[in-house]
Amino acid sequence: MLKAIIVLLLLAVIASLFSGLFFLIRDGGKTRRVVHSLALRVLLSVLLLIVIILALWQGGLTLHPTP
């Protein structure tokens, strides 16, 4: 379940990044849609980082040292 949330957040970040690129090309940067799309990407990235840190802290994810 936790890994699925992480994957969905990663996909949402990538989708937001490409929507920003699409709006930049289509609108030529004249509208605020590019800014909103990239602000959403930053928000999703911060949320993803918080989920990963909390999962590591609570033991839902573990780091495996290389042998």
Task: Please tell me the predicted confidence (pLDDT) of residue 62.
Answer: 86
Domain limits, the chain: 2-58
Distance CA 41, CA 35 (A): 10
17-54 residue pLDDT tens: 999 999 999 988 788 898 999 999 999 999 999 999 99
What pLDDT sits at residue 27? 85
pLDDT surpasses 90 at 66: no
How confident is the model at residue 5, as a pLDDT? 94
pTM comes to 0.83
In three-state form (DSSP H/G/I as H, E/B as E, the rest C), the secondary structure along 23-44 is: HHHHHCCCCCHHHHHHHHHHHH
